């Protein structure tokens, strides 16, 4: 757990590491959530040290495109972040999100402690029990590993490239869904 200085007060933050397809999509959503301090796009879960985007895109490094979210648990809980995670991507498609396919686009939660592991198990159990998804959930639940931040041009991608086709067709609908269904969770 990190200590962050905020307005003269010391507060505790926590980290969540989530992979749900293209990291640009998750980053765009989590950057808007109240209580989220930062979102970094990157790579985790693989066997190559300091991988590049080009290497990860081959599908041979074992890494998933992921985001590392630093958040204030007094404003947003890990459970809240998981709820958004399971709403903003399809956790039933193996190594695929929409037209993006390969192991780098897999659904995975990389837990940082036993409490997070338990929360993920409970969230997946609740989704199964509710019959939220017709197909089985294939989200991997793994201990957090080394997280490598992606290259700078991948950071805040949606914010800087709203006019790009991928942003308009793929990311904007996710952001619109967030604004419509979770308006109470957004930053002011």
How far apart are alpha carbons 111 and 168 in whole angstroms? 31
> What beta strand segments (E) does 45-172 contain?
64-71, 96-97, 100-101, 107-111, 140-143, 147-149
Q: What does the pLDDT read at residue 2?
A: 45
66 pLDDT above the threshold of 70: yes
C-beta separation of 44 from 146 below 8 A: yes
7 pLDDT above the threshold of 50: no
Task: Tell me the average pLDDT across 22-51.
Answer: 97
- For residue 50, give the DSSP letter: S
Q: What does the pLDDT read at residue 9?
A: 52
Residues serving a catalytic function are 22
| Beta-bridge mates of residue 101 | 96
Quote the pTM value: 0.92
pLDDT band at 99 (very low <50, low <70, confident <90, very high): confident
Domains observed in the chain: 12-185 (3.30.1060.10)
Strands 107-111 and 140-143: parallel
Maximum distance among all Cα pairs of the chain, rounded to whole angstroms = 49
């Amino acid at each position: 757990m990190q200590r962050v200085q905020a307005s003269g007060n010391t507060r505790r933050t926590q980290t969540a590491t989530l992979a749900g397809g293209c990291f640009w999509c998750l980053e765009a959503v989590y950057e808007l959530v109240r209580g989220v301090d930062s979102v970094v796009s990157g790579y985790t879960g693989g066997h190559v040290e300091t991988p590049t985007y080009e290497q990860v895109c081959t599908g041979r490094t074992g890494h998933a495109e992921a985001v590392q979210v630093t958040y204030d648990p007094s404003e947003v809980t890990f459970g809240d972040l998981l709820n958004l995670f399971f709403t903003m991507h399809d956790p039933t498609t193996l190594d695929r999100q929409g037209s993006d396919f390969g192991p780098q686009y897999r659904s995975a939660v990389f837990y940082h402690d036993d409490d997070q592991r338990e929360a993920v198990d409970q969230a997946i159990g609740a989704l199964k029990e509710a019959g939220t998804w017709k197909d089985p959930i294939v989200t991997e639940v793994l201990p957090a590993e080394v997280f490598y931040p992606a290259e700078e041009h991948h950071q805040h991608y949606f914010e800087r490239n709203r006019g790009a086709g991928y942003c308009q067709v793929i990311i904007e609908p996710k952001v619109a869904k967030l604004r419509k269904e979770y308006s109470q969770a957004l930053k002011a």
